[in-house]
C-alpha cells in the first residue's frame, strides 16, 4: 500500500503543474464589489432621505451607485398609519425607509444605533446616540462602502436647521470622512483575522472619501448661495421618463406613518393637480442646493459633485486643523452647540463652512431660552465677573444680571435663562428675529459678549 502511494506521488510530481497551482499564488479575497458606492448619503431619520432623493434620481441616471445610512430608526413622533409606537414604530419606519429607497432601486441601506431625540441641540442628540459607538459604526460603513462622495445634513445651528439629530448626522458623517482613511482609528476594523474563522477582526481597508457635501435644512438661503452646486429637479429621468421630483415623490409614498394624510390627499388627485400642488406649494419642485464641505481632489466650489473625481483610491488626508484663536487671559464667550461648532469647524478644516453671525436659533414662545457661557480666568487671582443682559421688550431674564467669582486658573460654565413670551395671536407662524446680548465685565472692562439672534415661533420643537 505504502509503495503504491509513493509511486503515485512520483507520477504526480513528474506531471506539469495544473494552472491553478502555478507560481503566482492564489489571490486573496478582495473587498466586496456589491457594496462599493459612488455616493454615501448620511441622514438621521427615515424620510430624511427625501431631502436629497430628487438629486439621487439624477445620479442614478448617471449610473452612480448609491448607499444610504440612517443614524436612527425614527422611533419617536406620532404614527399616522397605525397604533405602533416607540420601538415598534422604529421597526415600521425602518421598513418604510427601505421601501422608499427600493422604489428608486437603492437597496444598500443601513441603520446605526442612534436614538431618535426630540431636541434642537446637537450635543444632546450626540449624547443620546452614544456618540463613540455610532461613530465606530459610521466609520465601518465608510470603509465597507468606499464612497467617492458623502452627502449629509449641514452640521450647524441655524434658524430652520432645527433638529439636533439632523445636525448630528452631519457631524458623524464629517468625522467619519476624516477618520475612515486613518488606519490607526478603530484598527480592529482594518486588521486581518489572526486565525481561520477569527470572529473579531474585520479585514476592512482604510478608505478616504474624496469629497463631502452638505444639504442645508436652514431658512438662511442667503448664506448658502454659491457655496456649492445646484441641480434642477424638473428634468426628465432617462430611467423612468418622469421628472426627478416626481420619482422622489413616488418614493416618499412609503412613509405612511409620517405622512399618511398628505399621501392620501395626493392619491385623490390627477397628475396635473399633483404637479401644481407638489411643485408650487410643497417644495418638491425646488432646485437642490449643496454646500461643498471639502474636496481632496480639487474641482470648483459650484461645479458638479463628481467634478475632479476619477476612479481608484486616494491616500489618507489628515484634516488640516485651524489653530485655536488666541484669547485674553480673562474672557467670556457663548458656549453650548455654538462654541462646539466653532471648535468643530476648526478641527475638521471647514473654515469656509457658512455659519450665521451672530449665532441664531428659532424657539417656541412661550418658552425658555438658555444661553450657556464659558468664563475663562487664566489670571493668577480670583476674578469677580458681572453679567448683564439686553433683551427685546416683553422678554425677561431670571438671572441675567448678577455677579459671581471665578477662581484663578479656572474655566466656569454659567447660564442665563430668558423667558420668551407667547406670540401675539395675529402673528402667523413666526415673529421677526430679535437680538439678545449677554455682556460679561470684570475690573470695569468688558471681557466678552454673547449675542444670539432669536426667532419666536408658534411651533419650533422638532418631532
Ligand atoms: Zn428628520
Residue-wise pLDDT tens digits, 17-68: 555 455 679 998 999 999 999 999 999 999 999 999 999 999 999 999 999 9
Q: Which tens digits make up the pLDDT trace of 90-99? A: 999 999 999 9
In angstroms and rounded to an integer, the radius of gyration of the C-alpha atoms of the chain is 27
- Mention every residue, 6+ apart, whose C-beta is less than 8 A from residue 336: 121, 123, 370, 372
Q: Which residues pair with 99 in a beta bridge?
A: none
Using the mean position of ligand 1's atoms as its centre, give its distance from the Cα of residue 460 in Å. 14
Task: In whole angstroms, give the CA distance from residue 344 to residue 352.
Answer: 12
Which residues are found with C-beta within 5 Å of the ion, ligand 1?
A: 44-45, 48
Using the mean position of ligand 1's atoms as its centre, give its distance from the Cα of residue 118 in Å. 10
Task: In whole angstroms, give the CA distance from residue 429 to residue 431.
Answer: 7
The three-state (H, E, C) secondary structure of 340-367, written as one string: HHHHHHHHCCCCCCCCCCCCEEEEECCE
What values do phi and psi take at 93, rounded to 5? -65, -30
Using the mean position of ligand 1's atoms as its centre, give its distance from the Cα of residue 79 in Å. 14
- Of the given ranges (36-40, 158-162, 350-354, 407-411), which has the lowest mean pLDDT? 158-162
Using the mean position of ligand 1's atoms as its centre, give its distance from the Cα of residue 166 in Å. 6
Q: Which tens digits make up the pLDDT trace of 99-135? A: 999 999 999 999 999 999 999 999 999 999 999 999 9
Confidence at residue 22, expressed as pLDDT on a 0 to 100 scale? 53
Using the mean position of ligand 1's atoms as its centre, give its distance from the Cα of residue 294 in Å. 24
Using the mean position of ligand 1's atoms as its centre, give its distance from the Cα of residue 440 in Å. 37
The label of the residue with cell 427601505 reads 98
Q: Which residues pair with 416 in a beta bridge?
A: 371
Give the global pTM: 0.92
Using the mean position of ligand 1's atoms as its centre, give its distance from the Cα of residue 45 in Å. 5
Q: What angle do the packed helices 256-267 and 86-104 form, to 10 degrees?
A: 50
Q: Which tens digits make up the pLDDT trace of 123-173? A: 999 999 999 999 999 999 999 999 999 999 999 998 877 799 999 999 999
pLDDT surpasses 70 at 8: no
109-to-19, 66, 71, 76, 300 alpha-carbon distances in Å: 40, 9, 11, 20, 30
Using the mean position of ligand 1's atoms as its centre, give its distance from the Cα of residue 62 in Å. 27
Using the mean position of ligand 1's atoms as its centre, give its distance from the Cα of residue 458 in Å. 19
Burial class of residue 384, CB neighbours in 10 A (0-12, 13-18, 19+): exposed
Using the mean position of ligand 1's atoms as its centre, give its distance from the Cα of residue 104 in Å. 20
Confidence at residue 218, expressed as pLDDT on a 0 to 100 scale? 79
Q: What angle do the packed helices 131-145 and 164-179 form, to 10 degrees?
A: 50
pLDDT surpasses 60 at 219: yes
Amino acid at each position: 500500500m505504502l509503495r503504491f502511494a509513493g509511486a503515485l506521488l512520483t507520477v504526480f510530481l513528474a506531471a506539469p503543474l495544473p494552472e491553478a497551482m502555478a507560481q503566482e499564488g492564489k489571490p486573496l479575497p478582495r473587498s466586496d464589489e456589491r457594496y462599493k458606492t459612488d455616493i454615501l448619503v448620511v441622514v438621521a431619520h427615515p424620510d430624511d432621505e427625501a431631502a436629497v432623493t430628487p438629486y439621487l434620481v439624477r445620479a442614478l441616471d448617471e449610473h452612480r451607485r448609491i448607499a444610504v445610512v440612517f443614524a436612527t430608526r425614527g422611533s419617536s413622533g406620532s404614527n399616522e398609519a397605525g397604533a405602533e409606537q416607540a420601538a415598534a414604530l422604529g421597526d415600521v419606519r425602518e421598513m418604510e425607509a427601505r421601501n422608499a429607497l427600493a422604489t428608486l432601486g437603492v437597496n444598500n441601506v443601513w441603520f446605526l444605533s442612534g436614538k431618535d431625540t426630540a431636541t434642537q441641540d446637537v450635543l444632546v442628540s450626540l449624547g443620546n446616540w452614544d456618540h463613540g459607538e455610532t461613530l465606530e459604526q459610521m466609520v465601518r460603513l465608510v470603509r465597507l462602502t468606499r464612497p467617492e462622495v458623502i452627502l449629509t445634513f449641514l452640521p450647524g445651528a441655524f434658524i430652520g436647521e432645527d433638529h439636533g439629530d439632523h445636525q448630528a448626522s452631519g457631524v458623524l458623517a464629517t468625522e467619519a470622512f476624516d477618520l475612515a482613511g486613518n488606519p490607526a482609528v478603530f484598527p480592529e476594523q482594518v486588521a486581518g483575522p489572526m486565525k481561520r474563522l477569527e470572529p473579531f477582526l474585520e479585514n476592512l481597508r482604510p478608505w478616504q472619501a474624496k469629497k463631502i457635501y452638505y444639504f442645508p435644512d436652514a431658512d438662511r438661503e442667503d448664506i448658502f448661495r454659491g457655496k456649492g452646486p445646484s441641480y434642477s429637479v424638473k428634468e426628465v429621468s432617462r430611467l423612468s421618463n418622469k421628472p426627478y421630483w416626481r420619482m422622489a415623490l413616488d418614493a416618499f409614498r412609503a412613509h405612511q406613518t409620517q405622512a399618511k394624510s398628505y399621501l392620501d390627499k395626493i392619491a385623490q388627485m390627477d397628475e396635473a393637480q399633483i404637479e401644481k400642488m407638489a411643485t408650487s406649494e410643497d417644495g418638491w419642485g425646488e432646485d437642490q442646493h449643496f454646500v461643498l464641505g471639502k474636496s481632496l481632489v480639487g474641482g470648483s466650489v459650484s461645479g458638479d459633485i463628481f467634478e475632479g473625481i476619477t476612479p481608484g483610491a486616494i491616500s489618507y488626508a489628515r484634516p488640516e486643523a485651524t489653530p485655536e484663536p488666541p484669547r485674553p487671559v480673562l474672557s467670556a464667550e457663548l458656549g453650548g452647540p455654538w462654541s462646539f461648532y466653532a471648535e468643530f469647524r476648526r478641527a475638521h478644516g471647514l473654515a469656509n463652512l457658512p455659519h450665521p453671525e451672530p449665532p441664531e436659533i428659532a424657539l417656541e414662545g412661550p418658552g425658555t431660552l438658555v444661553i450657556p457661557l464659558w468664563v475663562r480666568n487664566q489670571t493668577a487671582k480670583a476674578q469677580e465677573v458681572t453679567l448683564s443682559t439686553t433683551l427685546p421688550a416683553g422678554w425677561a431674564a431670571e438671572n441675567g444680571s448678577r455677579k459671581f467669582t471665578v477662581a484663578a486658573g479656572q474655566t466656569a460654565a454659567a447660564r442665563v435663562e430668558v423667558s420668551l413670551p407667547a406670540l401675539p395671536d395675529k402673528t402667523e407662524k413666526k415673529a421677526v428675529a430679535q437680538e439678545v446680548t449677554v455682556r460679561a465685565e470684570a475690573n470695569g472692562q468688558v471681557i466678552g459678549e454673547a449675542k444670539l439672534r432669536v426667532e419666536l415661533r408658534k411651533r419650533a420643537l422638532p418631532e
